[in-house]
Structure 1
């Protein structure tokens, strides 16, 4: 993990309300985690960060 930015150098991460919370090795695992979290706490803003592409997408 790149500690200066808080974002992982590889894999995927869930960004919850602007903070990196959980890292995953696979996109499928990250998406499942994001969907579960959003289902339980719909008010949270959740983004899925892809370290290889260096981009994050909003989870609706």
Structure 2
């Protein structure tokens, strides 16, 4: 079975959990969603992808 791959967003931000993009947002959600998710599940690798700079930031 082949997993579907998501394309990188052209604008905005996207949370990435264990290497998989989950959604696209127009505003940065690091403080609200990413840190809460990391606190609940510390074993996950959570990063925020910034489409403008094409960079990922580790949480």
| Fold agreement, TM-score > 0.5 | yes
Aligned residues: 54
Structure 1 segments, 4+ long, off by >4 Å, are none
Structure number having the greater strand percentage: 1
TM-score computed with the length of structure 2 as normaliser: 0.80
* Structure 2 spans left out of the alignment, 5+ residues: none
TM-score computed with the length of structure 1 as normaliser: 0.79
Bigger radius of gyration = 2
Q: What is the RMSD computed on CA atoms of the aligned residues?
A: 1.5
